[in-house]
Every structure is written in structure tokens, then in C-alpha cells.
Amino acid sequence: MRVMFTSDELRGGVARMAEDINRTYGETPLTIVGVLTGSVVLLADLMRFLNMPVRVGVLHASSYRNNTRPGELIVNRELMLDISRHHTLLVDDIFDTGHTMVRVLEELREFEPSSLRTAVLLRKAARKEVDYVPDFIGFEIPDEFVVGYGLDYREMYRNLPYLAALEPADLAGDKS
């Protein structure tokens, strides 16, 4: 595995993204909805840089089943706060094809938030398949499989304090 961003570089990117969010919302109270499980580390770090009053909730959205190939998207909103009439920021770890984010946004709009924006740690512009761009982006990355800082490979490596690209040898034992 090859380190793509060190923990200090990640902290700097999250701080820059938070500055943009602070400029956008000012002192307006904000409800943050993190997408489990990948956004947990970003969510924890990001909210420490925000200046406005913040409410935090989560939802679970997943299309991966025991491997790295996507399947049907399932969204579970049971742990999410009420966002109706609240300025809401959806926080996710990575914007890849964009299908997950677009689907989650469709579901969240049903609750009629006052506003709804998105923040992602990473964006793979080369993989984009939808007509949507996140409002706040920490880093642009090439089309590589990355782990660490909340992102996983087969539920492993989320705990790495840096972001790393997996090399072909790292995936050599993958039979899925």
C-alpha cells in the first residue's frame, strides 16, 4: 500500500473544507448527517472545526456486500435526526460514481430540509457517472482503491490515520 495523504495533510484538507462550510453557513445552526461507516472519522474531525451550533446524526447507505462490487443500494435512516426545516449537510467519505450520494439526497429531500448540501473527503472525478458535484470537497484523487481515515477494504484498514492506495499486490489474494 502506498500513502497518498499523511494524517497532517488530511487534517489540513478537512480544515480547509470546514473554512468553506463556516463561510457558507456563518452562525446558522447546522444539522450534519454522516453516512456510515466510512464518514465516521471525517465527521468527528470536521465538526471540531465548525463554528456554528451543530446537531449530528447518521444514516447507513451501502451497496457493497462482502466484496468490492456494488449491488442494490440500501439506505437505513433509523439513526438519523429529524432534518425537516433544518439546514442540513450530508457528509460522506468518498464521491466515486455518485450514485449513492444522488440516491441518498433524493431520500433526504423527502424530509424537506431548509437547505441540503454535501461534503465529501474525496472525489474521484474520473469515475463520476451522475450530473452532481458535491458542495464541499476535501481532496480530488485519481481512480485508485483507497483505505484509511474511515475507508475500508473488506471492513479492514478504517483505523489507519493516513489515506493509502492499495497496490495490485495488496489485492492479489482477493477472490471476489
Q: How many domains does the chain have?
A: 1
* Structural domain includes residue 41: yes
Residue 61: the pLDDT is: 83
* Structural domain includes residue 149: no
* Structural domain includes residue 156: no
Catalogue the active-site residues: 96
Confidence of residue 174 (pLDDT cuts 50, 70, 90): low
CA dihedral 136, 142, 147, 152 (to 10 degrees): 80
* Structural domain includes residue 152: no
Alpha helices in 121-164 (DSSP H): none
* Structural domain includes residue 71: yes
The tens digit of pLDDT for each residue in 112-152 reads 999 999 999 999 988 889 999 999 999 999 999 999 999 99
CATH number, domain containing residue 65: 3.40.50.2020
- Owning domain of residue 105: 7-141
In 3D space, the residue among 97, 93, 96 whose CA is nearest the CA of residue 147 turns out to be 93
The tens digit of pLDDT for each residue in 45-101 reads 999 999 999 999 999 887 655 555 556 777 777 778 899 999 999 999 999 999 989
pTM of the model: 0.89
* Structural domain includes residue 167: no
Give 90's strand partners. Answer: 33, 118
Strand order in the sheet with 30-36: 70-76, 54-64, 30-36, 87-95, 115-123, 136-140
Please give the average per-residue pLDDT across 2-30, as a whole number. 98
C-alpha cell at 170: 495488496
Three-state DSSP at 124 gives: coil
* Structural domain includes residue 164: no
Residue 173: the pLDDT is: 61
* Structural domain includes residue 16: yes
Three-state DSSP at 83 gives: coil
Going through the chain in order, the beta strands assigned E by DSSP cover 2-5, 30-36, 54-64, 70-76, 87-95, 115-123, 136-140, 146-147, 163-165
